[in-house]
Structure 1
Amino acid sequence: MKTFNFLALCCLLLGGQAQAKTINSGDYSIELAPAPNWVKPTTMPPAPGQLERSPSHYRLLDRQIRIEADSSSFFQGFAAIALNQEGVKQLSKLELSFNPAFETLVLHSLEVQRNGKWSDRLAGAKINIINEEPELSNDLFQGMATAVVISHDVRIGDTLSYSFSIQGRNPVYGKEFSSGISMGWTEGVDSLSMRLVNSSGRKLYLDPKQMAPAVQSHDRFGDEYLWQQSAVPKYLWEQGAPQSYTWAPTLYYSSAANWGDVVNWALPLYRFDQPDSPELAAFVREVKQHTGKSEQLAEIIRFVQQDIRYYGVEIGQNSHQPHSPNEVFNHRYGDCKDKATLMVHLLAEIGVESYPALVNSRIGDALPERIPAAIAFDHVINLVRFDGQDYWVDGTNNSQAKGLQQLSQADFGNALVLRPGNQALSPMPQASAEADRISVDMHYVSANYDAPVDLYVTTRFAGRQAEDMRFQLAGASDWEVEKHYLNYYAKFYHDINQAESILIRDNNDSGEGMLIREHYRIGDFWKSTGHGLDFSLFATNIKSYVELPEIINRSQPLLSRGPIKVEQTVRLTFPEHINFLLSGEDSKIETQDISYRSSGSYSQGQLIRHHELTLPSRVVAAERSRDFIETLRKIDNDLYYNGSLSGDFSKPVNPGLSYLEQVRKEADQ
């Protein structure tokens, strides 16, 4: 699916058409030419008399799509008024991305209206075509090009209009077609038009979300579907809403009648009839030396996840067609579909059943609500069947524990398994807060009221939380981790230093998760008040899970950080056994979206505060978001504990060596 930045959209008006010409820039080229004859002109309405304060005002947005048997064309026109200097900056620079492997970008018009008169800007525009890879930071190379068009002499109050088309369709789709077109923006639009022409000879399946029915007709180019609207309102995606939420009108269309059609399209892409290379055959023999099928299976998963580097060369048909197992093995790199294909091949060599499975990493939960389409997926994993059970394995996850029983199964909501005859999506097992958990023990040990306090922090990560921590630590040295953690605690204590090197223990092979142990020395823990001492305790780790969202008054669902369970125990061992009266009450909150409880106790010179937070699901419904946010506020207030001691603390306390040794043993546990 091709998407465009709404601030760099191109405009329509078919007056001032370009003469046919080719613009070359480096290794790329675009065309200047009149709009194709299948495009119908759209009239721009007069500018409204009153305009609200904004960088620009959208006057016209026109989108027209023609679907042919083996190709597609996308036409777009756009007109807007620049209302201030920021609007001039935004509208006078046009950025259009296309894939030169199978697409051609054609500019049709570029005009400016000033004082009621139109003038051409395309002839004098500065046009550069650059290789810009938006996914390169994610190790994906797609061969994309971007045309940057700079219009000259644009002023405040001018109306700019652009029109362009992108012609071509990735040949990997063959005669299949599908797309999704957003029809809502954060700016209002005076006139909106969407026209879809089906010239393919195939049945077209439509799924217009939050849109009125189309006006249907037929002309010499095919069946036409037209949506038109005036005074289109603004639409706002609320920060924190799940990506699967349809926040604005959107048109989905597809040639697939059901999910079985998508399976039948994809299956041939994953078939390779070639013998193993000598290197691959040698590796298979090495794997078979492991005793037991489960050990062989574990080694293959480990190899694909760990030894095949994630890097995707997705040029042309390789956007969806994987490279052969031989290529992936010999290169020692590949993207998700490359890894999935290699895993299927290797598992077949040891007699284990496995299939590629198409998933969507962003909107997987919403797939049952969408029409079947090849573009509905952005990721490929594996379904592995072993000993009568199904396992969902992500070959790109190089942070998992070794062994089928230890790894956390991939959870993308729904998957389309590429198995002959499959006609339906498969629901995937949901993540569990009990399995994905963090346990933190913070132990403050005070040997004397006028001496620094030792802080021991032991954190245990299980399930996906262990995987996330492995991923974070893989990109940092121990020194960097130590500095990061120390600076975090320095937000609460001005006089804090690292007392010991950080200890990181990864029980990867056993599946017991990860352990991180820290030791600090705090010089300003006790705060003198003149008549006693004050101190503060804070459940720091839970705090990050109860941060308020950016948008409080919501009309859209809210992503929580679940599913997860976080337990944090904060202990303070005093220099001596004292009479200490614990303030505050225990807390307990139980709702559909959050569970929290806290308790406190004091005994034999030790104060203990225990906190337990459970977020059972990923998403909070919009109608429950208000109560959820209010609960976050209550929990946040409960994470802090302030205590006071009265008396004379100027004399040193000698608790005895045996007492201090016992405290140290407790901290080491």
Structure 2
Amino acid sequence: MRQIFALAAIVLNGYFAVAEKDVSVDKPSNWVSRVEFDDSIVPGSSNSYQYLLIQQEDHLPKETKFRRFVYKILNADGVQSMSDISVSFDPTYQKLVFHELNLIREGVSHSKLSKEVIKIFQRETSMDRSLYDGSLTAVINLEDVRENDIIDYSYSLIGFNPINGGHFSANYYQQFSVPVNTVRTKVINDPSKFIQFKLFNAAESPRRTNVSGMDEYSWTVNAKDYLLVDNNIPTWYDPHRRVSFSTFKSWEEVVAWALPLYQYPESEVQQIEFPLSSGASEEVRIASLIQKVQDEVRYLGFESGIGAYKPHNPAKVYEQRFGDCKDKSLLLVALLRKIDVVANPMLVNTAVGHKLGDELPGFSLFDHCVVSFSHNGEDYFVDPTISNQGGNIGLISFPNYEFGLEIKKGSSALREVATKNLPTIKINEVISVESIGGGAAMHVRTEYTGSRADYIRSYFASNSFENIKKEYLNYYSSLYPHITSSGDVKFYDYDRLSKNKIIVEEFYEIEKFWVDSDDKEYILCEAYPLVLESYLNYPKAANHEMPYYLGQPYSYIQDTQIDLPEDWSGEGETINLGNEAFDFSKTTQIKGRTVSVSFRYDLKKSFISGDSVNGFLQKIESVKTEMPQYLTYNENLAASASKVSWVSSFLAVVSLFLGVFFAVRTYKIYDPEPWEFAEDKPIGGWLILPAIGLTLTPIRLVIDLLSNDQLSAGMWDGIILLTDGGVKSLPVLVFVGAELVYNYMFFVFSILIIVLFYQRRTSVPRLVTIFYALALIVPIVDALITDELIPGVLSETDRNATIKEAVRAGVAALIWIPYFNIAERVKSTFCKKRIKQ
């Protein structure tokens, strides 16, 4: 082992020795402008330093980039963060030349530059993504830096990547997230070589001049009006002023540049042997090849110099079993072509998304490579760098890169590559409660599809089952502190090459499922979509003006079933919330001993505009408020619920007595004269419809009276508990008593109307008018009084039910009240008197 380390040290020492030859100190070239800087400080800026000058001048024929930075240290934090000068370069094609390094104190400039102060390090900034670019960093540690010092340094990078083929593309900013007193920019180009530029966000246009036979594009701007971006913006959003340059005329030229890079010796690919079933369909063979490249060729890249753009030979990548995105993509393309599938590499940008088409054509826009292929006339896309994916070729998840450039002959424009498959999470919880106030057993079954399934598959592949079991348990302990595992976490992945569906099962015991209320008057338990909560933790955004990122759209479904040891009383309800970005619903159903709660959440958009953020976040808070589902249990109330209330019984008897009394009186006394032209017609025609409705009314009323436990003593105790038993409870009790009296009397009234209706008595039209008017007015008045006496007691479901009932009763009243008072058929049918004259 020591010999290996010694060998590595020798190699590195030699590498750095070579690299040091590529770092020198010299004067800047004569084409570089000498620019004075303004040392004033922007008032109100809270930064620990301030840029006074940013100078960037690029000479394309000389393949040289000149950079100069001047900044002032404003406090101790600035001393800490800005006392080191660092410049990165690629020694395979670049040389670094430092020109000046001056520390200006109280107007006096002190040179701090010498070859000896330059240290060289290799820092792989992308190691976390298994990418090694081979770049080096030259570092100068400044000594004795103090507050109010000005640091002025400049350097040149000489040499462009030879893979560019003489092409160039770059962005130059005229605005930053910190104030900059002056930005000086210049691009020098050979007049015989094509170059174009594009302005973004009202950037200032460059001034074109000809100097010493060269075209110069230059501008000097004041960039003190810095722009701070809002939090949580999409990656594609860049509001700063900038100018983009490119020597490419079109995307077709970019394709022509890239095509030679993606050529490979086909004869070597033919020797690659991937075991594929000869009897398998083409679709299965394609899916198998994709999976093998994704999982068996690890993602690892050495991207220095030419390797930053040119992929390696597919045969070599297959043999070494590793490669970067370009290598893995070209390998998959080669293998697919081997089985006669049309496939091509595709360049994408993982951040710019749908804004890619706004940019000038150029190779530097792309930071990733994927694969496009065709099967049975359909186009498909796959990212070979994503491991542990599943699904047939139509269900393989593809990140929402939105647009890409296909590297094939004839390709001349960007292609849309939007995601097709919406990931889903479906959770089924069954909570079996042992006893009221005791523990419970919980079984959780979660089904993942799409990219969510890919993530879970990767999570289980990279973690032990013991770790997963512990993490899952800790996750649920935030909701149920007394939870323990009662079985191993089970993982099912039997549809990987078809539906890409993963099922995870969990088993728990909750020792203390019920908890005391704050006032100790009752106990309660809770059902809650814990997983959904983690998806809804959006950052706060006060006065947000820029687009706001929501995440990639998905569908979430959770069904929680609570099995109780005794019948549960209560009413179900449905709550719906949402806007342009999402839909949420919560439905509660109570049937006997089972309480079921269903949660649905669909994220429909990945971002929203800035003026929609406040409304969105308010809606999300409303969703969070509605997510908990509590079951409350009061022992005293439960005991009284099984007893018959003498008050209810008394009111019921009195109501029925009064109802029958007035019904008999009405039957005998109210006997108006018939229409003089009455033809004594039988019940028929349109009258069949109200006849059916009136006949069913008493049955419906009896069901309502029995289901609402209006004779139970628990109803009155519940009202007293709901109103805190204070003075406020008296009007509520009186109101509920009046409701009870009305319900029983209306029941008797409905029977009276049925009797008179089928006897075709002359009193029917007027009594039916009263019936439909009461059916419309009473529920509305009841809801208004209830809301006034006990604000907030009516749920969204109650309000919706009242509205539906009022609409239904209103339609009936509008139709039948005029009909029973005007129609000749009615007058000719209801023409009988009790006492014939």
Q: What TM-score do you get using the length of structure 1 for normalisation?
A: 0.88
Q: Deviations over 1:140-177 (max 9, x none)?
A: 11111111111111111111111112121111111111
For residues 34 and 427 of structure 1, do their structure 2 counterparts lie closer, same or farther at Cα, with a shift above 3 Å needed?
same
Cα offset for 1:581? 5.3
CA contact (8 A) 2:437 2:523 kept: no
Partner residue in 2 for 1:665: none
* Range with greater deviation from structure 2 (125-134 or 457-466): 125-134
Partner residue in 2 for 1:304: 293
Q: Deviations over 1:533-573 (max 9, x none)?
A: 12222211111222122434211111112310111223322
Partner residue in 2 for 1:422: 411
Partner residue in 1 for 2:111: 120
CA contact (8 A) 1:587 1:597 kept: yes
Counterpart CA distance in 1 for 2:316 and 2:635 is: 76
Cα offset for 1:239? 2.5
Structure 1's unaligned 5+ residue stretches are: 1-23, 652-669
Amino acid at match of 1:63: Q
1:468 has 2:455 as partner: yes
1:91 has 2:82 as partner: yes
Partner residue in 2 for 1:319: 308
1:136 has 2:154 as partner: no
1:166 has 2:176 as partner: no
CA contact (8 A) 2:299 2:385 kept: yes
Amino acid at match of 2:376: D
Any idea what SS the aligned residue of 1:283 has?
coil
Q: Deviations over 1:469-495 (max 9, x none)?
A: 223333211122122121122222222
Cα offset for 1:419? 1.3
Counterpart CA distance in 2 for 1:35 and 1:187 is: 27
* Range with greater deviation from structure 2 (398-407 or 105-114): 398-407
Amino acid at match of 1:34: K
Counterpart CA distance in 1 for 2:440 and 2:126 is: 48
Partner residue in 1 for 2:555: 565
Counterpart CA distance in 2 for 1:647 and 1:274 is: 80
Amino acid at match of 1:225: Y
**2:57 maps to which of 45, 59, 64:** 64
CA contact (8 A) 2:347 2:405 kept: yes
Q: How does 1:25-424 map to 2 (within 5 A)?
A: 26-29=17-20, 30-48=23-41, 52-68=45-61, 72-123=63-114, 126-199=117-190, 201-210=192-201, 211-220=203-212, 222-230=214-222, 232-273=224-265, 275-276=267-268, 281=271, 283=273, 286-287=275-276, 289-424=278-413
Q: Deviations over 1:283-305 (max 9, x none)?
A: 16x43734333333232222212
CA contact (8 A) 1:600 1:609 kept: yes
Amino acid at match of 1:81: K
CA contact (8 A) 1:139 1:312 kept: yes
Any idea what SS the aligned residue of 1:276 has?
helix
**2:594 maps to which of 602, 606, 609:** 606
Counterpart CA distance in 2 for 1:527 and 1:273 is: 71
Amino acid at match of 1:467: D
Cα offset for 1:468? 2.0
Partner residue in 2 for 1:644: 632
Any idea what SS the aligned residue of 2:310 has?
coil
Amino acid at match of 1:500: G
Q: Deviations over 1:406-434 (max 9, x none)?
A: 423453101111111111111113344xx
CA contact (8 A) 2:25 2:114 kept: no
Counterpart CA distance in 1 for 2:266 and 2:142 is: 53
Partner residue in 2 for 1:661: none
More helix by share: 2
RMSD: 2.3
Counterpart CA distance in 1 for 2:287 and 2:26 is: 58
Amino acid at match of 1:243: T
CA contact (8 A) 2:438 2:512 kept: no
CA contact (8 A) 1:411 1:429 kept: yes
Counterpart CA distance in 2 for 1:48 and 1:450 is: 67
Amino acid at match of 2:246: S
* Range with greater deviation from structure 2 (446-455 or 240-249): 446-455
Counterpart CA distance in 1 for 2:385 and 2:510 is: 42
For residues 649 and 460 of structure 1, do their structure 2 counterparts lie closer, same or farther at Cα, with a shift above 3 Å needed?
farther
Cα offset for 1:205? 1.4
Aligned length: 619
**1:576 maps to which of 566, 574, 583:** 566
CA contact (8 A) 2:431 2:561 kept: yes
Q: Deviations over 1:439-498 (max 9, x none)?
A: 112222211234322222211111121112223333211122122121122222222211
1:494 has 2:486 as partner: no
Counterpart CA distance in 2 for 1:120 and 1:221 is: 35
1:444 has 2:431 as partner: yes
For residues 541 and 611 of structure 1, do their structure 2 counterparts lie closer, same or farther at Cα, with a shift above 3 Å needed?
same
Counterpart CA distance in 2 for 1:573 and 1:605 is: 6
CA contact (8 A) 1:588 1:596 kept: yes
CA contact (8 A) 2:85 2:141 kept: yes
CA contact (8 A) 2:430 2:442 kept: yes
Counterpart CA distance in 2 for 1:51 and 1:269 is: 51
Counterpart CA distance in 2 for 1:49 and 1:533 is: 61
Counterpart CA distance in 1 for 2:127 and 2:232 is: 25
Cα offset for 1:649? 11
Counterpart CA distance in 2 for 1:481 and 1:183 is: 49
Q: What TM-score do you get using the length of structure 2 for normalisation?
A: 0.71
Counterpart CA distance in 2 for 1:570 and 1:608 is: 6
Counterpart CA distance in 2 for 1:516 and 1:291 is: 30
**1:519 maps to which of 488, 502, 507:** 507
More strand by share: 1
CA contact (8 A) 1:532 1:648 kept: no
Any idea what SS the aligned residue of 1:385 has?
strand
Amino acid at match of 2:268: D
Counterpart CA distance in 1 for 2:146 and 2:272 is: 68
Counterpart CA distance in 2 for 1:50 and 1:368 is: 39
| Identical positions, percent | 24
Counterpart CA distance in 2 for 1:445 and 1:556 is: 48
Partner residue in 2 for 1:477: 464
Counterpart CA distance in 1 for 2:27 and 2:226 is: 32
Structure 2's unaligned 5+ residue stretches are: 1-14, 640-837
CA contact (8 A) 2:541 2:614 kept: no
Tell which structure's C-alpha radius of gyration is larger.
2
Cα offset for 1:312? 1.2
Partner residue in 2 for 1:543: 533
Cα offset for 1:92? 0.9
Any idea what SS the aligned residue of 2:535 has?
coil
Any idea what SS the aligned residue of 1:156 has?
coil
